């Protein structure tokens, strides 16, 4: 599998799994991290590189359509906030 646009640091930090998880490209995820200043969008917990490699973050689609993989639709949350979001969603059903 060739990812021609991937930056070297993204490869190092995110690995292959981040790419598989949702539809965002590594370029978008990298830009979203910069945009959020490496903080969780909800609780503002700062992600360190160490945290990122341990996958204490999750990439989330702002609009629930997973086919929209633009930077504007990309949110990065810590696992705690992601879990809260998911619980809310399940609770509604
Ligand atoms: Zn958070």
Paired tokens of 36 = 């959020």
Q: What domains can you pick out in the chain, each with its CATH number?
A: 8-92 (3.40.1800)
What are the residues whose beta carbon lies below 5 Å from ligand 1 (ion)? 40, 42-43, 78, 81
Show the tokens assigned to 44: 């503002």
Render 7-53 in DSSP notation, one character per residue: -HHHHHHHHHHHHHHSS--HHHHHHHHHHTTTB-TTT-PBPPHHHHH
Measured in Å, residue 65 CA sits from the centre of ligand 1 at 22
Residues 6+ apart with CB under 8 A from 22: 59, 60, 61, 66, 69
Q: What is the pLDDT of residues 10-50, one digit of tens each?
A: 556 655 554 454 578 889 988 999 999 999 999 999 998 87
Q: Residue 5 — very low, low, confident or very high, per pLDDT cuts 50/70/90?
A: low
CA of 56 to the centre of ligand 1 (A): 9
**How remote is the CA of residue 4 from the centroid of ligand 1, in Å?**
31
pTM metric for this prediction: 0.67
The CA 2 to ligand 1 mean position distance, Å, reads: 32
Residue 58 · residue 76 · CB < 8 Å? yes
């Amino acid at each position: 599998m060739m990812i021609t646009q991937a930056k070297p640091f993204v490869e190092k930090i995110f690995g292959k799994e981040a790419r598989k998880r949702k539809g965002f490209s590594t370029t978008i995820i990298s830009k979203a991290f910069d945009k959020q200043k490496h903080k969780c969008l909800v609780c503002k917990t700062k992600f360190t590189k160490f945290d990122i490699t341990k996958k204490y973050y999750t990439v989330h689609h702002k609009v629930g359509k997973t086919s929209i993989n633009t930077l504007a639709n990309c949110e990065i949350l810590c696992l705690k906030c992601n879990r809260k979001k998911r619980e809310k969603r399940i609770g509604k059903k």
